[in-house]
Every structure is written in C-alpha cells, then in structure tokens.
Structure 1
Amino acid sequence: MRQVATLGASDLHLKSGAPPYLRLNGELTPIPGMYPISGDDMDTIVRELTRTSPNRLHEFEQTGEADLSYELATCARFRISIFRQRSEISASLRVIPDEVPALDTLNLPAVIETLANVPRGLVLVTGATGSGKSTTLAAMIDHINEHSSKHVVTVEDPIELVHRDKKSLINQREIGTDTGSFSGALRRALRQDPDVILIGEMRDEETVRAALSAAETGHLVFSTLHTIDVMETIYRVLDFFPAALERQARAMLAGTLKGIISQRLVKTEDGRSRVPAVEVMVGTSRIADAILNPDETGTIQTALAEGSYYGMQSFDQSLLQLVLDGAVTVDEAMFHSSSKQNLALLLEANNVPMNRA
C-alpha cells in the first residue's frame, strides 16, 4: 500500500492466486517481483484492513462484500471494496489524497466554482468509476469551507476525503458506522439545520426523492451518479420514479436542478498523467423547460453546445479544447468522444488535422 501511494498509482487490486496489480495513469499492470497472493494471505489481509471496523468484517462474512475506508499512518487513506469471487477473496483499494485538493488545481471549467456557490438547489457530479467524481465534489465542499460560513452535512459510503472545519462546520457521516442508509440519514439531516448536504450516491427512488425535496426546501444538495453524460443523468433520475409519477418527477427536477458535471479522465499527450474532459450543464430556463416537456428533453444536448455564455459545454467541445491546448492527442480525444463524427467536424472547423499525433 505504501509503494502504491509513493508511485502515484490510483488503485491497488488484490486477488487470491494472482500477484498484486496497480493502476498507474489509467493502465492496469502487475507489480514487478511480487508473487501470487495465497487464499490464507488474503484472509489475513482482510482481517487486518477491517481490524478497526468489525462491523464491516461482519458485513463481509454475511454478504460476501463490504466497503470501508482505511488510513495508513503518514502515508495515505484508502477506499476499499472487499468481495468474494469464485469463493475466493479479492479487494480493490483506491488511494485517497491526505489533503482535499483546491478546486482551482483540478483543471476544471471555471463555471464549477459558480455551481459551488449557488445558494440552493441540486448539483450532480457524474461519471464512470475512477473518473474523479469524489475528488471534484470534495474540492467543491472545500471551496465552500474556505469562503462561506455554512453547516455542511455529508453522508458517504465510506468517508473518503476528510474535511477539517475552516469557515464552515462540517459533519461527515458514514453508512454502516454512523447511520444505516442514505435515505434515512438524509431525512434526519433536514432536522440538523444544514445549509449544504452531500449525498455520496443516489441509489434508489427514496434517496432521490429526499434529495429533490431537500433542494426544494432551500438547501444546496450535492450528489453523484454513475452515468456517462448529462443526458443519461437526466433520464436516470427520472427513471427512479414510476411512470405514474413522471410528471411530478420532471417538475421537481426542473425546479431544483442547478447543474450537472460529467467527467472523463483522458491520458495526456506525454502519457504521464490524465486530465479531465468535462461536460457541464447549467440549469437555465431553457434547460428547465426541456426537462418539463418530454418532447423537448432530447434538445438538451443542443442547449449544452450552444450554452457557452452560461459556461455550458459538451464532452466533444471539452475534448476539442484539450487538443487545441496540446494536452491530449487527437487519437485520445477521439477515443473518449461522445460522437466521433461531431468531434471530427469540430477539429476540422479549427484546422486540426485528423492525423495529428
């Protein structure tokens, strides 16, 4: 674990019968010189990792899976998922920075700071696993902490980045340790005089409904979804509700949604690191009308591309800018594009040759 943190890797994977693997700059590779891990060793590893979280060990023994956080003194924190596969034990460990990064160090669009400053409503950060959602959200909370006197309540599974009180008062609650569920913790949070609520993930209708209600009643609510872009995010939120409640769900979402930030991490031109490509939607009246009207919802993608005045941009526009800045290659941008044809047209309009390395 110390070696992985020192190398700057993002993840460590442990599996019975296989050597340890690490993910460095997005690439998965075995650690040189390491032997396969035995089943007995994996059992010992899990018991050590859960030594201070006996409830997580019990959960693993009962269900075959558990999530937890682990702090390695003077080194790093880890978000850990332990699970069984083919009756053997495996574990995935994500390295979590000791300090919350400042928002202006993450190469994110300036509008994200604006979204961190809205007084109320719902802001969603989305992307695939490992796309930097947790880091972006933590940086937005830290921005609030640096500049505003707010009461912030977070509900996480598990707690990853730890916030220290600055101008704000921050209470971080962990599922399984401090509370039983996202939806239950969110209901109780409304009785705790919060200004800002962070929900680690919206997993079910009850949590989504509670989040929208909290945003409706004047709170700023942040959360995440495992969706790949703005359009999928909107449809995913609506899909949590039964068809009979679609009209109500659309009204709640249109009235509360302040922004969606969707991220993909893209390998830099030198291959030594990754930078975020970011799709951003800002909750304008045009967006709200499109959410309300099922026949118009499909026009939101066009609104993104035409909404630069508000700070909006599509993934392909973000990738184009990364190419123009010399940060990523054309091939890498095309690989991560939402529409290769659309990105090709954008590159052509900016006189970027498609064969540019």
Structure 2
Amino acid sequence: MSQLRDIDDYLRMAVENGASDLHLSVDAPPAARINGAMIPLEDFVLTPEATRTLVFSTLSETQRSKLETEWELDYAIEISGLGRFRANVHYARNHIEAAFRHIPPEVPDLSQLGHSPTIERFCQERRGLILVTGVTGSGKTTTLAAMVKRIAETRSGVIITIEDPVEFLLPHRSCLIKQREIGKDTKSFTMALRQALRQDPDVIVVSELRDLETIRIALTAAETGHLVLATLHTIDAPQTIDRLVDVFPPDQQQQILAQLSNVLEGIICQRLLPKADGTGRVLASEVMCVNYGLRSCIRDRKIEQLVGLMEIGSKEGMHTIDDSLDLLLRQGTITREEALFQCRDKQRFLPPAPARTK
C-alpha cells in the first residue's frame, strides 16, 4: 500500500491530469473526474480517519465549527502554484467526505467556451434578466464569469456579484466589481440582493436563484432598470420558465408570469458532453432570445410553444439543444449515441434506415 499524501499533492495530481474535480470518500481511493469519468489516484482506499485529516487540513477553526453545527460546508481555497478550488464538505454514512472543483486561474472568453455571438450580444443589454442554466458541472459559473468579464471590458459601471462561495477572482477593468460571498461578506442571498439595490449597481450577478424570495427580488431588480445575471439548475428553456413560476404559490403565479414576460431577455442552457475522440468535453447549448412572440407565450404560460418559436428564431441568434447537437454530430465532435441520449427529438438523430434491396 502506498503512503497517504497531503491534500495539496492530491489537488496537484488532479490539476496536472486535467481533472475538473477531486473527490475524497471513505472506503474509496482519492478520485479525479477527468473528461467526465472518475479516475482513482491511489491503489488504496481512504479510511474515515485519513479522509477527515485531509479535509480538516483545508479548514479554519471557524469553518470546522460551522461544519460540526450545520453538517455541510461550501467554501473556496487557494493553493500556491495551483490556483483556486471550490470545495464542499459533507457527511455520508456518518463520515466526512468532500469534493473540490478546480477554478481556472484566468477567466476564458465566451468564444473559447464555445458560445455563439448571441451571448456577446446579451452582455450589451442594459436591463432585464438573463439566465444561465444547466446541471451541476455544466460550466454555468464559468459562463457567468466570462459574461461579467466581457461586460467589464466594454462599459463603465458597478457590478455586484453575490456568490456562495466566490470562485473566479474578477479584476475591476472598466467597471468596479464588488464580489460578495455568503457567510463572509453577507449572511444570505436574500439579504445581499436587497442591499445590492442600494449600492448603485448597474449589473447584479446572483450565482444561484435558490428560493422564492431571491427570485422575487431578482425580478424586481430587473424591472427597476438593472441587468441581472443568474443561474438555475434546469436543462432547457421550457423547464426554466416552469421552475421559476412553480416556486410561487398558485395565486401568485400569474403575476410572476407577467413580470417574467416583461423582464426576461435571454436564457442560455448548457451541457458539457464527452468528445467522440475521448480528448475532453464540448459545449452543447440552447439559446433563447426573448422577442414579442416569446413574451406573449410566457405571459399566457404556453410553454409548449417555446421550442417551435426558438426553431424559427435562428436569424435572431436562437437555437435549440437539438440544433446544437446536430451541428456537433455533423462535425464529428460527438457520437450519435451521445446525441440520442441528450436530444429532445430522437427521430432527428436516428441513423438512416438501410436501403431495401430488390
């Protein structure tokens, strides 16, 4: 059995192997997520004591106390020569375990991430709500940081971010950027969002719309002339609308639909898919630019019509997830199996039937 290394060594091994995440779990080897697959970093499993030692080496006394009280902890750490990591510590089967996500030292450009020029255009908006959605690990935070970077490069103003925790460190550039972290700089998303309206913001960034009150204040901020960027854990544009509205009691939903139809400017739904050649992952996305027809559909909750309007809105910069998958498949970037697994309309991606012989 090899000797247990320290946490810096495991984080370094993960980064050097191109991993997005490092996982520490009891009765399993330290493991790195590389191109979506879990790869063990040792030939032995971690004991409860070893896992606890590795995790606690990254925590302050205050953080340890909070973990023991709340049983969960989100935080960020910085390792010299490696960069920043977002960490989550939690209990599983009464043992401490953890996941660490590597945050690249430089915020990439939107084009480097694979986004279309439409997303650059979203960054030019002066008011309204723009949502970046996707499952955990789909790159929402990176897209949000790239949008903030673009805004800060192209205009003057004040950008306030509300994050849990702060991940990318964003330089001021032409904008003054105030990055506020839950638990360090403010007590909650709701409180920070309310206070942000009194801090002379031009742009407000919310790392996650988690609850009814946060959504309500974000809609109000967008209504009152601010540009609000936020993320949600949804996989496509129709589901995003439903999720935002369903958070509210039935007697308030019509009012929320009216607000949403007025302030929503765009939705970016994204997924990171394995490349066909196994060399990494590639972005697939759905982009909705809210026009008059879409506003009407949202107001009347005709969610089933959104996909059709996106399909005919390509000249306005829109595309569905199936359009994105189709392009990636034709380029040979992803496999047909992956396209079939991810698509909305499977008939579009079924292989052509073999020709009949006479």
Q: TM-score range by the shorter chain?
A: over 0.9
Partner of 1:327: 333
User: Quick check: 1:5–1:76 contact (8 Å CA) kept in 2?
Assistant: no
Pairing of 1:60-79 with structure 2 (within 5 A)? 60-79=67-86
What's the CA shift for 1:147? Answer: 1.4
Report the secondary structure of 2:121's partner residue.
helix
Distance 2:62 2:154 in 1: 37
What's the CA shift for 1:45? Answer: 2.0
Distance 1:323 1:201 in 2: 31
Q: 1:216 aligns with which of 213, 219, 223?
A: 223
Instruction: Report the residue type matching 2:31 in the other structure.
Output: Y
Instruction: Report the residue type matching 2:245 in the other structure.
Output: L
Partner of 1:341: 347
Partner of 1:86: 93
Partner of 2:305: 299
Instruction: Report the residue type matching 2:324 in the other structure.
Output: S
User: Quick check: 2:154–2:174 contact (8 Å CA) kept in 1?
Assistant: yes
Instruction: Report the residue type matching 2:164 in the other structure.
Output: D
Report the secondary structure of 1:84's partner residue.
strand
Distance 2:43 2:187 in 1: 39
Q: 1:3 aligns with which of 13, 19, 24?
A: 13
Report the secondary structure of 1:49's partner residue.
coil
Deviations 1:55-84 (A, max 9, x none): 432221112111100111111211111000
Deviations 1:80-127 (A, max 9, x none): 110001111110111110111112211112101111111110000000
Give the root-mean-square deviation of aligned CA atoms.
Answer: 1.5
Partner of 1:42: 51
Alignment of 1:271 with 2:281, yes or no, is no
Partner of 1:193: 200
Partner of 1:100: 107
Scaled by the length of structure 2, the TM-score of the pair is 0.93
Instruction: Report the residue type matching 1:104 in the other structure.
Output: S
What's the CA shift for 1:300? Answer: 0.6
Structure 2 portions without partners, runs of 5+:
1-10
Instruction: Report the residue type matching 1:22 in the other structure.
Output: A
Scaled by the length of structure 1, the TM-score of the pair is 0.93
Partner of 1:145: 152
What's the CA shift for 1:129? Answer: 0.5
Instruction: Report the residue type matching 1:68 in the other structure.
Output: Y
Distance 2:130 2:102 in 1: 25
Greater shift in the superposed pair: 202-211 or 22-31: 22-31
Greater shift in the superposed pair: 103-112 or 123-132: 103-112
Distance 1:228 1:343 in 2: 19
Report the secondary structure of 1:192's partner residue.
coil
Distance 2:309 2:234 in 1: 19
What's the CA shift for 1:34? Answer: 3.9
What's the CA shift for 1:297? Answer: 2.5
User: Quick check: 2:336–2:349 contact (8 Å CA) kept in 1?
Assistant: no
Distance 2:346 2:100 in 1: 33
Alignment of 1:117 with 2:124, yes or no, is yes
User: Quick check: 1:123–1:223 contact (8 Å CA) kept in 2?
Assistant: yes
Structure 1 portions without partners, runs of 5+:
none
Distance 1:158 1:250 in 2: 30
What's the CA shift for 1:331? Answer: 2.0
Deviations 1:9-46 (A, max 9, x none): 00110012221011100111212x34222222222222
Instruction: Report the residue type matching 1:45 in the other structure.
Output: L
User: Quick check: 1:211–1:221 contact (8 Å CA) kept in 2?
Assistant: yes
Alignment of 1:312 with 2:321, yes or no, is no
Partner of 1:247: 254
Instruction: Report the residue type matching 1:95 in the other structure.
Output: H
What's the CA shift for 1:47? Answer: 2.0
Deviations 1:279-316 (A, max 9, x none): 0111111110001113x222011111111011111101
Q: Percent identity?
A: 43
Distance 2:62 2:290 in 1: 41
Distance 1:85 1:339 in 2: 38
Instruction: Report the residue type matching 1:284 in the other structure.
Output: N
What's the CA shift for 1:270? Answer: 1.0
User: Quick check: 1:55–1:176 contact (8 Å CA) kept in 2?
Assistant: no
User: Quick check: 2:163–2:180 contact (8 Å CA) kept in 1?
Assistant: yes
Distance 1:291 1:91 in 2: 40
Partner of 2:243: 236
Partner of 1:30: 40
Deviations 1:207-226 (A, max 9, x none): 00000000000000011111
Distance 1:127 1:324 in 2: 23
User: Quick check: 2:276–2:333 contact (8 Å CA) kept in 1?
Assistant: yes
Partner of 1:21: 31
